[in-house]
């Protein structure tokens, strides 16, 4: 089983969300916050890597970008859902 510490996984999550949100979808922080059902400030905390989104926020992100949760948090390098 592939394991990754939270300390190592958080920067991967932040980078992958940023790439998907801005690079692929062209979404603003405000739009991403609305998508995650949090305030813009709360989303900025996620984006800075200071805190993890809740489980429902991670699921929403994965659904929005059509990615697997394992890819989003750095457990897999293949973004496709299985």
pLDDT string in tens for the chain (82-residue length): 567 777 788 889 889 988 888 887 888 989 988 888 889 998 888 888 888 888 888 888 888 888 999 998 888 888 888 7
User: What 8-state DSSP symbol labels residue 46?
Assistant: H
What span, in angstroms and rounded, lies between the C-alpha atoms of 33 and 44? 8
- pLDDT at position 30, please? 92
- pLDDT at position 8, please? 83
| Listed residue (27, 55, 57) closest to 42, CA to CA | 57
- pLDDT at position 2, please? 61
Task: Give CA 23 to chain center in angstroms.
Answer: 13
């Amino acid at each position: 089983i592939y394991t990754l510490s939270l300390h190592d996984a958080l920067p991967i999550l932040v980078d992958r969300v940023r790439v998907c949100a801005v690079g692929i979808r062209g979404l603003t922080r405000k739009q991403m916050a609305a998508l995650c059902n949090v305030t813009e400030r709360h989303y900025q905390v996620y984006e800075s890597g200071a805190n993890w989104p809740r489980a429902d926020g991670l699921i929403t992100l994965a659904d929005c970008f059509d990615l697997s949760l394992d890819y989003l948090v750095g457990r897999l390098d293949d973004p496709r859902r299985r």
